[in-house]
Amino acid sequence: MDDRNDIPEISSAWNASLLALVIFLAAILYVFGTAMSGDTGQLTASVAGADLIEAR
């Protein structure tokens, strides 16, 4: 009956995958937020060698 109280082990591969997913989602959220704020100059300045093309 002690089996129910044991905490299952989570492998380090799952931990690394989860961390990578969180970092990826944070980066997507940052890019999306910067693009929606209209401050695309800051976004392109943070990417080395990026060119800003305005199509308005």
pLDDT digits (tens, 9 = 90+) for 1-56: 556 677 777 788 889 999 999 999 999 998 888 778 776 666 666 666 666 666 66
Which phi and psi (to 5°) does residue 38 adopt? 85, 5
Note the pLDDT of residue 13: 85
What pLDDT is attached to residue 56? Answer: 62
pLDDT at 35: 78
Whether 41 contacts 52, CB under 8 Å: yes
Residue with tokens 């209209």: 38
pLDDT of the residue at 26: 96
Output the pLDDT for position 49.
60
Whether the pTM exceeds 0.75: the reply is no
Distance CA 3, CA 14 (A): 22
